[in-house]
Amino acid sequence: MTNGNGTIKYTTTCKFCGKAVAEAPALDIPLIGDAGKRAKDLQTIMGKHLHSKHPDQFAQGIAYMDEVLSFLVFAAFHHEDPSVPPRIERIRAEIFAQVRKNTFTDAMLEHLTAGFGLDPQEAADVNQALRAVRNACCEFAEHAPAGVNSPAPSPPLILTA
């Protein structure tokens, strides 16, 4: 959207309720370094909206922020206490589950192998291997950390000849 003088403005919309909470020219946030005052002001506006309109999600965000801080602090040290490493691992796994960008469903993997011209047994074997790699990399199925809410992949496809 442009205003009267041709400046492009970008809308920030809440993912929970769809309300537009801000409209402003590009923030030009650097990849590294201080985000700047305008970005911090937008963060304040978004935080106030979440706090007032979505208190449960806001509380989850605060708890998550505390967990990330705990992870960063605890991971910076070696611990003789045997209860600490499992806690660090649980937090790491939850962070990974939240920030994982890409994964493949079984259907996507099957689509990849469909064009290889394999016989049904070979295709099933390749799909099984791809699922195993996906599960290890994305921490699904047998590789999922205990007690972490991570989305499970779709059930395996069983091919019979």
For residue 4, what pLDDT is reported?
63
Query: Is the pLDDT reported for residue 75 higher than 90?
Result: yes
Coil, helix or strand at residue 9? coil
Cut 0.75: pTM above it: no
pLDDT recorded at residue 70: 94
Segment 107-140, tens digit of pLDDT: 999 999 998 999 999 999 999 999 999 999 999 9
Q: Which two tokens stand for residue 114?
A: 């469909």
Tell me the average pLDDT across 77-97. Answer: 92
Alpha carbon distances (Å) from 106 to 132, 138, 155: 11, 13, 7
Query: Over 50: is that where the pLDDT of 158 sits?
Result: no
Q: Quick check: 152 pLDDT over 60?
A: no
* Predicted local confidence at residue 151, as pLDDT: 46
Say how far apart CA 91 and CA 70 lie, in whole Å: 8
Q: Where are the domains of the chain?
A: 1-53, 56-99, 103-161
Structure tokens at 61: 């965000």
Backbone angles phi, psi at 25, to 5 degrees: -65, 165
Q: Quote the pLDDT of residue 7.
A: 85
Collapsing DSSP to helix, strand or coil, 8 comes out as strand
